[in-house]
Structure 1
Amino acid sequence: MKPHFNIPCVILCGGKSSRMKEDKSLLPFANKTSLAKYQYERLKPYFNDVYLACKANKFDFHADLLLEDSDIYSPIVALNNIFTKLNSKKVFVITVDTPLVEISSISKIIEESNSYDITVAKTKRVHSLCGVFSNNIKPLTIKMLSDDFHKVGYLLDNSNSKIVSFDNDDEFINLNRPEDYQKALSLIK
């Protein structure tokens, strides 16, 4: 029986993709026209609601969007926008460029998030945008934005956070550069 999660899922698709040199959310992936479509269709069966957080509708498929009206490219802007627009106590957040995170890992993160404001994954490093975020962090995101401070690590360090360890670094590969994209394409086969 497949798991079903009673919190919304938000896929972050609003980054600059500066190291990739093109919008990575629109790169074809596996058998889908884009990484965004791949992530959306892969996660949709497990969550009541799946949203794409982005600056504009650039997609070739229908999805619920959480549009950001900010010129600043920042996960803190995205998180603040999520909790401004969604009436939800907690959300599962994942970046569009981590397409290999397994559902069992997502399940473990969600299970371990009960009494925490932020619960994120860690392999060799902390994956600070793969986890469960509570709306309790909104006052801190507002303060960080007013101070023009955008470090997710600071948000983790100054919240009731839990880090969940995983062994498989490849599962959490982040497609920042063309070589990361090629590696993920070979791993997905």
Structure 2
Amino acid sequence: MLPIPCVIVAGGKSSRMGRDKALLPFGASPTLTQYQLTRLKDVFSSLHVSCKSKDKFDFEASFIEDEKSFEEHSPLVGLYSILKEFDSPVAILSVDTPFVSETEFQRLFNALDETTDIIIARSPFGSHQMCGIYKPHFAHLIKEQIEKNEHKIRTLFEALHVKYVDFENDEPFTNINHPQEYENAKEKA
């Protein structure tokens, strides 16, 4: 077990899917969110779900709702809402990446050091900002960026020390964005 909490990010728009990905049935679980919670429960010290509102879920979990004081919702608002709840490093994983395992997170955790603010997984397909370990000490920088109406994660990353951990295989980082990707992923679950 990794001695850090993990937050499943389930607050996205799901516009390409056409329906809320977090609520889609997956594997033996009623929802993709519950699938993630079940499979990761023995990997991290605690599990939480980040969302705009917990009202959409009909199960019990530790929910972290997006900060309501911001007019706009964005991944940065979600990230700020998460990081302000913690005082030590936290793993972040998007709800729609159901194949990232303890193996990948162990490598990310092993890369954690004193000088790095964020550890991000990177595969041949690209970097995976919603699969990483974030230190919460820079939450105030996110708030300042949002207050300037700047919602690009790239802008935040440019101000911080980000370390990328390279993986040779894209498969664990398969992201479910479209109905066909969902159908393909269900066959692997």
Question: TM-score by structure 2 length?
Answer: 0.92
Aligned positions of 1:44-55 closer than 5 A: 44-55=41-52
**Conserved in 2, the CA contact under 8 Å of 1:120 and 1:162?**
yes
Task: Report the secondary structure of 1:186's partner residue.
Answer: helix
**Conserved in 1, the CA contact under 8 Å of 2:74 and 2:151?**
yes
Measured in 2, the distance between the counterparts of 1:179 and 1:72 equals: 30
**Conserved in 2, the CA contact under 8 Å of 1:5 and 1:47?**
yes
**Superposed CA offset, 1:23-74 (max 9, x none):** 0000001111000000011111121211100112222321000011255331
**Conserved in 1, the CA contact under 8 Å of 2:32 and 2:95?**
yes
**Conserved in 2, the CA contact under 8 Å of 1:15 and 1:73?**
no
In the alignment, does 2:67 pair up with 1:93? Answer: no
Measured in 1, the distance between the counterparts of 2:138 and 2:162 equals: 10
Taking structure 1 as reference, are residues 110 and 180 closer, same or farther at Cα in structure 2, changes over 3 Å only? Answer: same
Aligned to 2:75: 75
In the alignment, does 2:32 pair up with 1:25? Answer: no
State the Cα distance separating 1:169 from its structure 2 match: 0.9
**Conserved in 1, the CA contact under 8 Å of 2:87 and 2:137?**
no
Q: Percent same amino acid among aligned pairs? A: 35
**Conserved in 2, the CA contact under 8 Å of 1:11 and 1:93?**
yes
Aligned to 2:106: 107
**Conserved in 2, the CA contact under 8 Å of 1:128 and 1:153?**
no
Equivalent residue in structure 2 for 1:34, among 20, 31, 56: 31
Q: Which moved more, 1:28-37 or 1:110-119?
A: 110-119
State the Cα distance separating 1:137 from its structure 2 match: 2.2
Question: TM-score by structure 1 length?
Answer: 0.92
Measured in 2, the distance between the counterparts of 1:36 and 1:117 equals: 27
Structure 1's consecutive aligned runs of 4 or more residues displaced over 4 angstroms after TM superposition are none
Aligned to 1:60: 58
Measured in 2, the distance between the counterparts of 1:131 and 1:120 equals: 4
Return 5+ residue gaps in structure 1 as ranges. Answer: none
In the alignment, does 2:6 pair up with 1:5? Answer: no
Measured in 2, the distance between the counterparts of 1:113 and 1:74 equals: 26
State the Cα distance separating 1:158 from its structure 2 match: 2.0
